[in-house]
Chains A and B, each alone.
Chain A
Amino acid sequence: DQQVKQNSPSLSVQEGRISILNCDYTNSMFDYFLWYKKYPAEGPTFLISISSIKDKNEDGRFTVFLNKSAKHLSLHIVPSQPGDSAVYFCAASVGNNNAGNMLTFGGGTRLMVKP
């Protein structure tokens, strides 16, 4: 049972255009969401996060939108650059509980930004 799903395994965009990566979740207990970026032969690196009390968080070229009623979040990259080419993972957690900080990851979307 995949609680976090990224339905697009890959996405190709032109340099300078917007990249939109999507993520859906099923567990209504999730209250903290993150995006990680992964280059080949490297571990995932944190990109941006959002708490369920917000519907938008922006950091430079990266913006994450959260639609709680639809259990959907998206990552917008504007403008896209060739260096953004990587696999992007969406992750979610039930925050602030004594059981720990288990992140549930989606399957990833491979973004290719063409020069």
Chain B
Amino acid sequence: DSGVTQTPKHLITATGQRVTLRCSPRSGDLSVYWYQQSLDQGLQFLIQYYNGEERAKGNILERFSAQQFPDLHSELNLSSLELGDSALYFCASSVGLHGGELFFGEGSRLTVL
């Protein structure tokens, strides 16, 4: 158990819809990261928040947005969903802004039909 909690574990929705994925980092971790893994692909970095502020951005689509709240939990919002958005979405956390090891949650599997 990494200490990172993601909900929901599974989500099935239709094209055009909007969903919100939630992540609670490990106790004491200030950084939260979101990664997308599509069909046996590697993990693609989406975005990082540190203590409530956006600190790094990867290949995140404009239809996607995220935020980190004062209690440090984070939400990833995916809107106008397309079939290609079907993927595993991982949240990870770390203590600081930078420094190697990330602790990953079990992921949220999104299926867009």
B45 touching A43, Cβ below 8 Å: no
Q: A-side interface residues toward B, CB under 8 Å? A: 2, 4, 6, 9, 32, 34, 36, 41-46, 49, 89, 91, 93, 95-108
A43 touching B101, Cβ below 8 Å: no
B98 touching A101, Cβ below 8 Å: yes
Task: Determine whether B99 belongs to the interface, using a CB cutoff of 8 Å to chain A.
Answer: yes
Cβ proximity bits B84-105 to A, threshold 8 Å, 1 near / 0 not: 0000001010101111111111
Which residues of the partner chain B approach A105 to less than 8 Å between Cβ atoms? 35, 42-45
CA distance A43 to B55 in the complex (A): 23
CA distance A102 to B43 in the complex (A): 11
CA distance A34 to B95 in the complex (A): 17
Given A43-B2, A100-B56: A89 in contact with B106 (beta carbons within 8 A): no
A106 touching B100, Cβ below 8 Å: no
Q: Looking at chain B, what size class is its interface with the partner chain?
A: 20 to 34
B42 touching A89, Cβ below 8 Å: yes
Contacting residues of chain B (3-23) with chain A, CB-CB under 8 angstroms: 4
Which residues of the partner chain B approach A49 to less than 8 Å between Cβ atoms? 100-101
Q: B-side interface residues toward A, CB under 8 Å? A: 2, 4, 31, 33, 35, 40-45, 48, 50, 55-56, 58, 90, 92, 94, 96-107
Which residues of the partner chain B approach A43 to less than 8 Å between Cβ atoms? 2, 4, 90, 92, 104-107
Known: A46-B101, A102-B45. 17 other contacts (CB 8 A): A2-B42, A36-B104, A41-B106, A44-B90, A95-B99, A96-B98, A100-B56, A101-B94, A101-B97, A101-B100, A101-B102, A105-B42, A106-B42, A107-B40, A107-B42, A108-B40, A108-B42
Which residues of the partner chain A approach B4 to less than 8 Å between Cβ atoms? 43
CA distance A105 to B35 in the complex (A): 10
A46 touching B102, Cβ below 8 Å: yes
CA distance A44 to B103 in the complex (A): 8
A99 touching B102, Cβ below 8 Å: no
